[in-house]
Chain A
Amino acid sequence: MTRRVGVVVFPGSNCEHDVVEAIRSLGGEAELLWHDEADLRGVDAVVVPGGFAHGDYLRPGAIARFSPVMTAVAELAASGGPVVGICNGFQVLTEAGLLPGALQKNAGLKFVCATVGLEVASTRSPLTSSCEPGAVLQVPVNHFEGSYTCDGRTLDALRADDRVVLRYVENPNGSLDDIAGICSEGRNVVGLMPHPERAIDPLLGSADGVPLLRSLLETAAVGA
């Protein structure tokens, strides 16, 4: 059966259609979920896409976490359903407390827009389960506030529990421990700054986002 992925749309989101297109190109079903509705319409997985939710006012993700849809996303996460936050979506998930740590302004105040190498640091996540451990994927980043930080105890826990999912081969933003993506304690919530949905065809410069999003579809199928 085809798996349905819900893609959350806040005022100011701007990567939702790319995610929908990417999921459909891989044979999944995708639908948009407006932030003001606390109903996920029975989707098997949720993606919180990139953009500038609520204008990034106050802090990226600070206001988005109070949108009604986030209550439903938190419930899906609590029940073990796969939830992936990409870029601004990662910021939203940290602000909502579904992932630890925070995303700071990039080192040197540098806006980074480039295709970067990502090492698959753990395959025990819904986004990397069908990747080769240690594989290097070429995926674009496009952000100003993507420098991951957390306290020492959290970092120790992330490392000890194999929860750093993706690492930059060459750190573009000053992220702690070269972290590009992490997962939750239950492993089903993943946040990453890079955009796998923008790397789904060689025509786009890379198709290395495919194994990541395919992992998500496969995980959704198992969980249902």
Chain B
Amino acid sequence: MQFDVLIEVRPRQGISDPEGATIERSLPTLGYDGVTSVRVGKAIRCTIEAEDEALAHAELEDLCARFLTNPVIEDAAISMQPQVER
């Protein structure tokens, strides 16, 4: 099966995020007073071929731990859905 994957790489909880903090500080000037807790990460999209979703997930977890994140400062959220047959 083919899956469409979205991997969200985020600064781990408790790790400072100067980019998010800088964006947040600029918000009141634009009138957005109620927007807080800004955190900046990155989104990585890909497709993966695997027998089922669990196997795909396991492979992506491994990929995130070994390459796509630095576990000292980042973690990842993986979401995926089966590609629709055409």
Q: Which residues of A contact B (CB under 8 A)?
A: 58-59, 62, 94-95, 101-102, 104-109, 149-151, 174
Contact = CB atoms under 8 A, between A and B. Distances in A.
A104 B70 CA distance: 10
B70 A95 contact: yes
Contacts of A104: 15-16, 18, 73
A177 to B, nearest CB: 14
A103 to B, nearest CB: 9
A179 to B, nearest CB: 14
Contacts of B72: 94, 101-102, 149-151
Contacts, number: 33
Nearest to A95: B70
26 contacts: A58-B67, A58-B68, A62-B67, A62-B70, A94-B72, A95-B70, A101-B72, A102-B73, A104-B15, A104-B16, A104-B73, A105-B18, A105-B19, A106-B18, A107-B16, A107-B18, A108-B18, A108-B22, A109-B18, A109-B19, A149-B15, A149-B16, A149-B73, A150-B72, A151-B72, A174-B18
Contacts of B15: 104, 149
B83 to A, nearest CB: 25
A104 B16 CA distance: 9
Interface string B6-45: 0000000001101100100000000000000000000000
Interface of B: 15-16, 18-19, 22, 67-68, 70, 72-73
A151 B72 CA distance: 8
A94 to B, nearest CB: 8
A101 B22 CA distance: 24
Nearest to B17: A105
Contacts of B22: 108-109
A91 B64 CA distance: 18
Contacts of B67: 58, 62
Top 3 A-B pairs, shortest CB-CB distance: A102-B72, A109-B18, A102-B73
B59 to A, nearest CB: 18
Nearest to B40: A105
A59 B70 CA distance: 8
Contacts of B19: 105, 109
Nearest to A60: B70
Nearest to B74: A59
A62 to B, nearest CB: 7
A194 B15 CA distance: 23
B16 A174 contact: yes
Nearest to B72: A102
Contacts of B68: 58
Contacts of A174: 16, 18
B26 to A, nearest CB: 11
